[in-house]
Each structure stands twice: as structure tokens, then as C-alpha cells.
Structure 1
Amino acid sequence: MAWYDEDSWATAAFAPKGSTIAITFLLAVLLPILLHQFIYRKATPTTLPCFLLIGPSGAGKTAFLTLTERKAVAQTHTSTAPSAIEVLLPEDHTPQSSHYRSPGDPAYERSRRFLLNDTPGHGKLRHFATTQLANPTNVRGIIFVLDAATVAEEAGLNETAEYLHDVLLALQKRYTGATTSKGPKEIPVLIAANKMDLFTALPPHLVTQQLEKAISEVRKSRAKGLKDSGAALSGEEEGLDEEREWLGEGGEGSFEFGQMEEVGTSVTVHGGHVIRGDGADVRSWYEWIASHL
């Protein structure tokens, strides 16, 4: 039977029959719906993006978490265990991925949801943070909260710089230890200089300078400790170990946050304070979060 015969399938497909019209109508209506459902399920993330709250004890991490969750500051206590809470980006901030969406779009509302993971800042409990840094799952960024008044003093500055050094070094090792040439996805860092309302608090640019100087000293002292403890190692093994533990560019120069961009980590410093309770004084922190959602 030829295709042009009266009883052929080609003739039946284009003939003005009721069954042909019904099938064509169903395909025209159902195919776009099925295609949309398939693309939607593929594009919609199964887990929420996560931001890690890291920093010394008493810096204000839990207060910022409470403010984001409840839109008001409540009395907080020193954290002894990590806690992850689903929160919403404030309404006056638009996620980077949804600038083209209408506020009434359900996908827009979903894009405002994320997890804030608060980690304890006490020295004996920081393994909760370092464990997550070793294998970050769906982490969009790290918010390192510090007390801008504490870093004005030598003791507080040194403690903060040592912790921040370890966080940045963990991110550097993650990048340099990647098994693919493309490297892992970038995890940016926000240094949230909290308690800017205090008279003794340092402004953001001085916080940056002080931290860079202090981290340079931490880097030197760690390198000297490696040399002293590695006297029994061969020269090649000792050199490799020092390279893995050296933060930023090699050599004897000063450390700068810009050096971290070479290992897929951008570092931004923004000041603010949580105490007012309406979020107005941490607006730059929310803008940073929105830019990575």
C-alpha cells in the first residue's frame, strides 16, 4: 500500500476525521504541559541553599540568625551545638536568580528561602564548622561574624585572625585538592563586622587592614612551627607540607584578602550591627546573601 492511497496512515493523519482532530488537540494541549513539568522538576533544586555562620564566640551569630528568622532580636546564649534553620530573605531584597521574576511568581518565593547554619564559636567546638568546610554540601557562602570592638584589642584580634586563617585555609585546600581541572564551585566569604554601634568598634576598612596584618603573622608563626616540627622529614616532603599549609600566595609578602580569588574564594567585608532589631543595620549583609541566591 502506497502512502498516497486512501487507506494509508499518511492519508488518515491529514484527513478531516474526528479521531485525527481529537488526537491533534490532545497533543497540542498536553505536550507543552508535560514538557513544562519535566523541565520544572529538573530545574527545581531538591535542597535549599545554605549559608554557614562561622566566627568567634560572642560575635553575634545566633543574634543574626534570630533576627533573620523572627524579624526581631531575642535574648541569645552561647551556642554549644550547630543549628540549621530555614529562613526567608527580607522582602526588600531580591535574589540574584530572580531579578527577572514577578513577586507573585511561586518560583520567586521559593528563591527567597535558604538555610542559615549557625556553628558554635568556642575553641573546643569549632570542629562542627571545620567538618562542614571539609565537604560543603549546597553551601552558597560563608558568613564569618566578628565583633568589631573586640578586634581593636590584640587578644581578640589574634583569636579572630587564627580562626579566620583556618577557615580560609580549609577553602584553599578544597580548591587546590580538586581532582578536576575546572575546580570546585566557588564559596564566597562575607566578613560581617558586627557591633558597629559600639564606640570602640573599628570601621570596616580598618577591620580589613588589621585582619590582613594579623593573618600574615599567623601565617608566619604556623610556617615556623612546621619547619621546627618537620626537621625529621626529607626536604621534598617538608616543602610540600609547607605549601599546603601556606595561605594565599607563597613567599614572604603580606597576606591580602584579594589573594584568595586565585583559589576560587572572594572575601568581602561589611559592617553592621544586629542590636536595633529591624534589620536596617545589617542591610549590606542581606544584599550580599541575595547576590549569591
Structure 2
Amino acid sequence: MEKFENEFETEEKEITVLLKDSCTGASVMDKKWLKPSVNFLASINNNTGEVVNEEGRLEWIIENDPHRKGWGYDFKQFGIYRLLVRKCFPRELAPYQSAFMNNRYLLIKILEEDVQNEKLIELQRRLSKIVEIDTPYGKFELDRSMSWFEAEIECCGYTFTVFLETDEENGEKADDAREVFLKTLNGFEEFDKKMKDYAARNLLDSANEWLESKEGEHELITEEKFIEAMEISEMTVSPDGSMTMYYSDGDMFWGHSIEISVDEDGTISDVGIAG
């Protein structure tokens, strides 16, 4: 806990935040502690009244008690809260880390819930509205907490979930991902076959190794049986044209998903087991 708290300044300050999402999980610290977190979309410095339209994160520590309920605080998505916090010390971020990691706060106390601040309420109203985009496969609804549009679609006899990432972080459009999605679905039978053939060629040996670890006698998995066992479950499309495909494994890997990464030019770059 001391190591965690040393990441933050000692000065306590009041801020008011508009949350991006609710708290749904935590990272484990030294097995004994959990570090829940929740992101916010905008904040107000209560000393100056300045509105900062910059995403940030609230973090706190709770004991890793298997009998506990919740994550210490019960935050609501798009809720407005007045808080007592400590700001993090800035640090050099790795290329994969988001800028908001230098806009983190250690949460000390919730001072007020459902704060009536007109500037944040106006933003809250806009962000709470349902945003949809139409496709020939149905309507996709924006999930702001994940910055993607989501829908369950039907194609070529399959029903699966598709995620279209927004054109920019916290954006309200997914024009680029939508274009790639429609192009892919237009030739989906050929695309699906390509994914399955690649997975079968690269994971067949692993599937039979998993088979050997099961009790009893089992018939060897052939490439044909491998392909027959696969069924698409999810597809994530990025604005740059890259995609991640998830297929159910037909219990070849004991219920894990088969994950296939596709580059912007349609080249398969990786395949593995996920979940």
C-alpha cells in the first residue's frame, strides 16, 4: 500500500468529475490487495473552477477478500461526483500507455454524489444519449466506455458479435471500421474459410497435444475436423483496417477461444488460444 501511495502527491485537493464508466474490476497487487479503478471524461478543479476536458483515472486500494462484495465504491456510469483526491506524479509513459495515465488520482473520499454542475451536466446529457450507426446487417450502438459500436449480426448462417472501433478515442463515429467491416462481410464465406484454414494449419498439432491430455481414448483430430469444429463468435474491426477474429474451438482447447489477428492489408499475422 505504501508503494502505491508513493505514486501520488501528498497534497489533498477537491475535484469534481464526470465518470466515463462504472467500476467493473481491479488489478491484483501482491496478492493481498486489489486496485480498482474507474475512468472519467472531464474534471473541474474546485479551487479555480477550471473545466479540464481530459480523460483521467481514479484509483484506490481494497483488501483482496474473497468474501467481499463490490469494489469499495459503487460508481455510476456518467455520474458526477465531488471527490477528495491526490494527483499522481508524472512519469515517462511507454508507447502503448494512454496519456491519461499521467492524469491519475488516488481517491481519498467521495464528498458528494449527483453534483449539479451545469457544465458537466450538459456534457452528461450529450454523452448519455444513444448513438447508433446503420448497416445492412442492423444497427450498431455506441459503447462509450470501450470506444466502439457493438451489434450482434447474422451472416452466412452464423450469428456473432461485431465491434467497430471509433475513428478516434471517445469519438461518436466509426466510418473507417464500418467500411472495412462491410467489405469483409461482402466476401465473408471466402474470408471465413481463409481464417479457418490458417488456424487449422498452425494449431492442429497443439489441438492433438491437448487431446492427449484428456482422459480416455480419443480419435485424432484431422485438419478437416479442426475446421468443422470452428465457429466465429466475435469480430473486432479497428479504424486502420486491422481486425481480430475470435472462433469457438468446439472444445478442442477445452473451451478456449481461437484468436486470429489480421493486418490492415488482410494478411493474417498471428493465431493463438485466448481466454
- TM-score tier after normalising by the smaller chain length: under 0.3
More helix by share: 1
Greater RCO, 1 or 2 (C-alpha within 8 Å, sep 6+): 1
- TM-score normalized by the length of structure 2: 0.21
- TM-score normalized by the length of structure 1: 0.20
More strand by share: 2
